[in-house]
Amino acid sequence: MARPWLIMRGMTEIATAEPRRLLVHWLLFFVIALGIGYPAVSRFDPRTVPGCADAGRYYEMVSGEQAAASQQLLRPLVPWVARPIARLSAGHLPSWDPVAFGLLIASALFSATGALILLHIGRTHAGLPAATALTGTLLYFLNFAVHNKHLGCGLVDSGESSLMLALYWALLARKLHLLPVVGLVGALAKETFIPMATIASLGWAAVQFREQRWRAAQGLWLVAMIVVGLISTSGAGNGAVAKGQALAIAIRTYAVVNAGRHKREGFDLCDSVHCQVPRSANANSRRAAQATAGRILTYKGAPAEIFYSASCGGRSLAYATSAPLVVRMSNVSY
């Protein structure tokens, strides 16, 4: 029977022979990541675990059934990657949830890529022997966050982690022209990437300045990364969700204010342009109605008299010259 350290030595010799074998490294890390996250698709549902409360939101983002606007919508990268995997695997996994499987594969992809970058940094920029760099990278998988946030809980932190490692590599390798790309993708992974990347980049810039290696052009790439990341973060949320909820509140408010408009005819509102023209409900409109159930706009303590239209007729009115708009929400019993 082979001794454990001989097996480890054989793995090291295979996986660290030459840089051209990066694929071998990545496959090794990917298999390890799958093994760590395997229980999340076969033994328990992360959505039922108290410490994994956000898992339900990401599950909905992958399945396309998010019920309401939320902070998690600012983190679309991993769900975007997981969605096609979930669709392709649907019907082919007899006992596994395809959405959970898609999230696991996506997280394993990012975790393996981050580990590969870490291995490269250790070998190329830290000057570590190949075996030491590989051992350190394997120890990275023992980190609590990797087990519980990246792979074992249906969350999306693996994307942010891998992009932070990509940022460190770009700075160490002085590939500053890649920073805007890293900022764009990192901000889509998680909204906290930009502040963390900014702090890391400023620390690197301080070291460069102290060593008299700082150049003004380097600062331009750092600023570009921050700006691109902020823009992508501001546009990452699902605007259609918020728009649907705002419309639901407006429609409900209008119905409350105009209830009894056709009292003589024996009903409240008609289905023509005189009142409100209904459309067939769909999944999005139902979710918007459920998410805002009981909420209306009020003005001076009473339901607000509001108007909305599908067209402005080619003209609009400046806010300063229009009637004050309502900013307060109230709850009603229907």
The residues spanned by each domain of the chain are: 4-234, 239-311+320-331
* Half-sphere exposure (Cβ direction) of 74: Cα atoms closer than 13 Å: 14
For residue 92, the tally of other CB atoms under 10 A from its CB is 9
pLDDT at 281: 63
pLDDT at 235: 54
pLDDT at 257: 78
Angstrom distances, CA of residue 158 to CA of 17, 88, 163, 187, 202: 27, 22, 9, 13, 23
pLDDT tens digits, one per residue of 293-304 = 778 888 878 888
pLDDT at 232: 67
pLDDT at 264: 79
Give CA torsion, residues 19, 185, 126, 202, to 10 deg.
160
pLDDT at 149: 80
Among the listed residues 155, 224, 233, the one whose alpha carbon sits nearest the alpha carbon of residue 188? 233
- Give the chain's residues under pLDDT 50: 1-2, 11, 14-17, 68, 319, 322-330, 332-334
Per DSSP, helices labelled H in 38-70 are 39-42, 55-63
Interatomic CA distance for residues 83 and 86, integer angstroms: 5
pLDDT tens digits, one per residue of 180-211 = 889 889 988 988 898 899 899 888 888 888 88
Among the listed residues 183, 161, 192, the one whose alpha carbon sits nearest the alpha carbon of residue 229? 183
3-state secondary structure 171-234: HHCCCHHHHHHHHHHHHHHCCCHHHHHHHHHHHHHHHHHHCCCCCHHHHHHHHHHHHHHHHHHH
pLDDT at 311: 54
pTM score of the predicted model: 0.67
pLDDT at 308: 60
DSSP of 143-178, one letter per residue? Answer: SHHIIIIIISSS-SHHHHHHHHHHHHHHHHTT-GGG
pLDDT at 103: 92
For residue 236, the tally of other CB atoms under 10 A from its CB is 18
